[in-house]
Each structure stands twice: as C-alpha cells, then as structure tokens.
Amino acid sequence: MALVSGPGRAGGTSSDQELHILKHVTYIKNLDTRKEELEYWLTEHLRLNGVYWGLTALHLLGHPDALPREETIDFVLSCQKENGGFGAAPGHDAHMLYTVSAVQILVTIDAVDELEKRGRGGKQRVGSFIASMQNNEDGSFMGDQWGETDTRFLYGALNALSLLGLLDMVDLPKAVSYVQSCENFDGAYGVTPGAESHSGQVFTCVGALAIAGRLDLVNRDRLGAWLSERQIDKGGFNGRPEKLPDACYAWWVGSSLAMIDRLHWIDGKKLASFVLQCQDPEAGGFADRPGNMVDVYHTHFGIAGLSLLGVEGLQEVDPIYCMPKAVIARCFAR
Amino acid sequence: MASHGVRRFKPVEKTPEERQQELQKIYEYRSLERLVSEEMAEQEYTAETLKNISDLLSRNPEYYTVWNYRRQALRHQFSDAEGSSEEVSTNQIAELIKDDLVFLIPLLRSFPKCYWIWNYRVWLLNEARHLLPLAVSRQFWQEELKLVGKMLTLDSRNFHGWGYRRLVVETLKQLGTPAEAASMTQKEFEYAKNMIGANLSNFSAWHYRTKLILELLEEQSASDDERRGMLDDELALIHRALIDPYDQSLWFYHQNLMCVFDPAAAGRTMAPSLSASERLQYLRNEIEAIQEMLDGAEDCKYIYQALIECTLLVSKVAGQLSTEDRNQILSWLSELQQLDPLRKQRWLDFERTLPNV
C-alpha cells in the first residue's frame, strides 16, 4: 500500500455532492502499483498504517475483498519483530503505531489466529510488547523503547489489547488517571499533562476512556462545546482554535462527538459537503482541503468521517476503534 | 503521504528522461538504505556509518528506524569515549552531542512537524544529561531555549514547538536551584506575554499563560490577596484584548478564567479561596462588562455564550437560578440560535436542559 500522495487533486465543487465510491476503490487498489515513484520508497515508514487506512476505507466503501487476504496477512506478519511488536515494513523497528495497525488489520480480516498458526507466539506475544510500553509510575505509554510518551500510544495500546482480549495485561486504572491528567479546563485534552488541547488528542483520550469504560469522567457538555466550536463557517472542522479546516478532522472531532453523544451538535450536512469537496471525483481519493493533493490518509479519515455522518452507500464505522462496526461486533461477540 | 496543504497541480505524463531520472533516484536511495542496514547488521558503528546514516536521514527524516540506528551508533561512540580519562571523555562526548545537535538544525527547519526529529533531539539532550557534568549539560539545554524561541517565531502555533518548550523549561528547572527555577517561570511568563502581544489570536500562548500563572503563584507561595491581585490583572487584560470580540482564542481564555468562580473547578485555579459572595460579585461585574461589549457587536455569538455561561455560574454559586436570570438566559439564547445555525441542535439541547427556577 503506497503512501504516495496524488496523482490526483481534490477537484470536488460544492455542486458535486456525490460520493464517488468506485473511484475511491480503484484509487486505493492502485496505490501499490506506484513503485516507480521515489515517494513510494520514501514513505515506507508508514506502509503498515497505510494498509490499515486503505483496508478500512475499502470495508467502509463496501468492498471488503478488494485487497487479497493472503497477501495482506503475509505482509502484516512479515513486519513482526522478535519482541512481538510490529514495524512499518519488513526490516523496520517495532513501534506502537504499527503494532496497533497490525492488530486492527488482522481483526478486520479475521486473521488473528494466524499469529498462533504461523508460530508467531500468538496474540500473547503481541500483547507483551504493548504492555511493556506502559510506564508503571504514571500509567502512560511510550511508542517504543526510546521513550517518547504521547496519549496516542496510550489509546493505541488500549485499542489493540481490547481487540485481542488482553486488556488485563496493563494497569488500566493508572492509564485512566494519566488521561485525566491531560484534561484542560476547556474540557478537551492534550498530548501530555500541561499541553494545549488538540482534537486528535481528544479522540485518543476519549477513545481510551471509552475502552476503559470510564466515559463518566468526561465533562461532556464542556468538551462537546469545545468540539462543536471546531466547525467553521465553510462546514469543515479545524483541529484547534483559529486554525484551518482539514478533512481528517471530520474523523477526529466527529468521532469524539459521537462517543459523548453530541454529534448532533454540529451541522452534519455542511460537514459532509466540505469533506465531499475534498475528493477527487475523477481519479478518486481525498485531500485535506478542496484543491489540494489527495492521499490515502485523508481518503481513509474522510470516508470514516462521512460514515459517521451516515452518508449513503457507506458501511457504519465504530467511533471508538475506527473500524467497521460489523467487525467490532464480530470481534467482541467471541 | 499525508500531504497537508499541498496545492494541486495538473499531473503530467513524465517524459522518458524524467522517468529514467526518477528510477535513478530510487536506485540511489535504496542502495544507500541497503548499505546502512548492512553496516548496522555488522555492528559497524564507525564514523563512516554515521555519515551514511546522516545522508539517509537528510533524504528521508521520517525514517524512524534509521533514527534508532543513529542512537545505537552514537551510544557506541559514547562508550568508546568513556574509556578515556574523565576530562577527555567529557570533551569527546560533548563534541559528539554538539555535532549531532547541529546536524539536526536544517532538518528541523525543513520539517518542523516531523515527530521523529524532535524525539531524537530530546533523546540526545537526555543523553547529555546522563553522561556529562551538570554545568556542561545545562549549557546544552539552555541553548535549546533559544532554538525553540526561533522555531516559534517562524510558526507561532507549532504544536511540537510548544511541547518542546515546556519540556526544555521543565528540564532546566530540574537542573537548576529552586531560585533559578522560579526566575525561569517569571521569564517564561514574560515570553508568553510577548507572544500574545505579537498575536492576540495565538491560543497556544494563552494556554501556556494559564499554566505559568499557576506555577508562578505556587512557587511564590502567594497569599490569597496576591492571588486575587493576579486574577484582577488577568480580568483587566482579557477585557482590554476583547476589544475584538470576534476572536475565539480570547474567549477560550476568558472561559478558563471563569473557572475561578465555579465552585467545582475553583480548587484547581489561581484563586481557589474566594468566598461565595466574592464570586457572585465578580460574576455580576463580569456580566456587566460583557454586556457592554455588545455595543456595536450585537452579531457576535461569543458574547452571548459568555453571558450565558457567567449567569449559569451565578446560579451554581447561589444554589438556584432566579426567574430574572432564567429569562435573561432565554433571551440571549434566542439571539444565539439566530447567530449560530451550525450548532442549532446544541442550543436546542441547552434550552431543553436549562433548569427551572
């Protein structure tokens, strides 16, 4: 799955409000055929994220089989390291970001068993890597052994461990109190205690609390107010006060609002219209803003945002996991 | 990949020459990549390897695994240096760290939002902290404050920049005496003030200010009177700034200040010990001041939001909502519903859940 941006551009206009499902499917399927572009190689450090973005988008678009299942499993497993974690691509070091993507992909295509079957030490070994990233003092999580701490990694850890049924491997109450320590007076959350509120971090903090079953700790009205103020006149969301809108915030802000039952506090129609203007109606894919280059990251989060809004033709997305609702239901039915 | 803010261009078919050039570039890049991973597999932590790593990272600073290679190679060189006498070892390690910090500057300049470069830099400075005498490592950390100041001048909202600044200041405080730590907080307070002065919409700077005020008062073991003095200054400041009431950043700072009067939040604010009657007095003054802002800005939704918020706080402090206040709220709410159609449902929910008298 290439992470190369372009070649298309978001040419959608306000009059073109159709979701070009087949164009997006083709766009994603063709991403891996772009090996003659330098950028394909320069973005290898995102490959496994890219597979998760592309695969999830295809599921939401109603084309779950558009990527070959066996090849996907082979690729995911080829990224696993000795310590149980996953790197972005074969030869890349293990990191939380890719380990979470690996788990999400395997769950989506119902292939977690392969970790056992193919002698990878099963899901337990993946769980050990994730659990080893927790700081026992304050409950936070690092991304890898080099120590960067960020609420993104805490969310990722809880996301993957809960999907694997291994949440008991970590200290959940401590993780929860760490998230609380990142809350600001505006009801929103930052990357670490003391950091400015940011929509991406709101998603990770609220998502982590949702997985931990502690949404009671969220000041819903206060946070809902802050999140709803992210919508600007043109309909799109920005990530922080006085910043430009971006299609991917349709997901970060929208899913956070959905988790606290406040998605109706914004104008969904106008938001959907903004996101649809970010698509390339000819070659497929979404960009951050109308007129800019498309890429698979914005394609995935744009589509996930539209799914939250109930746009016709899309499968329902789960606001906590950013995976198809049907997949989450199947996973937790076990 | 995530191409933020890249304007569209018309994709044109590449000429055969251009395609050839692109393939050549790929070949060079992948050869270098292969060479570096071979050197790492062979544990050749030499100056030559470090040079190749630098070359690779300059071509692709997002390649996190190669940053990890760099850490390994450098750690090897540190332990080599540690074999020498203390003075020589200190000089050698300090030299290695200095060179590496210099190497990162142009990369940070070109890729100010790349997480991996910032992470690596923090790692390097923490190595300095662990391996070098206090005076030397402190020097390194002090230089960082200048660097991050420059970065924030170039992009005053850079998320990484602000986070990095907090980290540097926190570390410098740990490396200094309590008195030095206190003077740092004061200097940072001035810094945030200047940043706000340069651009009132800079919410990152306002946010920093809220945190610094709490630290300042804490470090000075401020009395209730001094805390109240600070509160009065802040209220005066935000009222002056709100001469432009259409700026959302200012209202978020205002909302933050109002937490002082919220019995549920006051304990975590700059003036935790106000009495109920003092809180009510402040809130009534506030409502009056904000109402004056409406003059000529009747279409500014933030004003109505703030009026409603303050009035609700009055009811929270007083323990009940008076009929008069409730009617006021409803009239401001009807303005809001006109002015803020995007959040129509939010205001409907609000109306539904507004407590009865």
Q: In Å, how far is B92's CA from the nearest CA of chain A?
A: 23
Q: How many helices (H) and strands (E) does chain B have?
A: 15, 0
| ipTM score of complex | 0.93
Whether A7 is in a domain gets the answer no
Task: Give the pLDDT of residue B12.
Answer: 63
Structural domains counted in chain A: 1
pLDDT in tens, B47-66: 999 999 999 999 999 999 99
- Measuring CA to CA, how many Å separate A275 from each of A226, A280, A302, B4, B206? 21, 11, 6, 15, 30
Whether A3 is in a domain gets the answer no
Whether A12 is in a domain gets the answer no
Would you call A153 an interface residue with chain B, using a CB distance cutoff of 8 Å? no
Cβ partners under 8 Å of residue B331, min gap 6: none
- Cβ distance of B248 and A241 shorter than 8 Å: yes
Q: In Å, how far is A238's CA from the nearest CA of chain B?
A: 13
- Cβ distance of A191 and B163 shorter than 8 Å: yes
pLDDT in tens, B1-51: 455 666 555 556 788 999 999 999 999 999 999 999 999 999 999 999 999
Q: How many CB pairs under 8 A join A and B?
A: 162
Nearest C-alpha neighbor of A261 from the set A302, A231, A220, A227: A220
- Cβ distance of A186 and B256 shorter than 8 Å: yes
Task: Give the pLDDT of residue B14.
Answer: 82
- Region B188-195 average pLDDT: 96
Q: Which amino acid is at A134?
A: Q
Q: In this structure, which topology does domain B239-357 adopt according to CATH?
A: 1.25.40
Rounded to 5 degrees, φ, ψ at A292 are -95, 175
CB A5 within 8 Å of CB A294: yes
Q: In Å, how far is A106's CA from the nearest CA of chain B?
A: 23
CATH of the domain at A93: 1.50.10.20
**pLDDT-above-90 percentage for chain A:** 91
Interface of B with A in 166-195 (CB under 8 A): 166
- Cβ distance of B159 and A191 shorter than 8 Å: yes
Cβ partners under 8 Å of residue B85, min gap 6: none
pLDDT in tens, B135-190: 999 999 999 999 999 999 988 888 889 999 999 999 999 999 988 988 999 999 99
Write out chain B residues lying below 8 Å of A278, CB-based.
none
Cβ partners under 8 Å of residue B189, min gap 6: B209, B212, B213, B216
Write out chain B residues lying below 8 Å of A281, CB-based.
none
CA distance A253 to B344: 17
Read off the pTM: 0.94
Task: Give the pLDDT of residue B1.
Answer: 42
Q: ∠ at Cα A249 (A161, B61), nearest 5°?
A: 75
Interface of A with B in 169-208 (CB under 8 A): 184-186, 191-192, 194-198
Q: How confident is the model at residue A11 (pLDDT cuts 50, 70, 90)?
A: confident
Would you call B201 an interface residue with chain A, using a CB distance cutoff of 8 Å? yes
- Cβ distance of B343 and A228 shorter than 8 Å: yes
pLDDT in tens, A275-293: 999 999 999 999 999 999 9
Q: Which domain holds residue A238?
A: 21-332
Domain parsing of chain B, residue ranges: 239-357
Whether A264 is in a domain gets the answer yes
With 80 as the cut, is the pLDDT of residue A2 above it? Answer: no
CA distance A304 to A320: 12
pLDDT in tens, B264-309: 999 999 999 999 999 999 999 999 999 999 999 999 999 999 999 9
Interface of B with A in 227-256 (CB under 8 A): 247-249, 252, 255-256
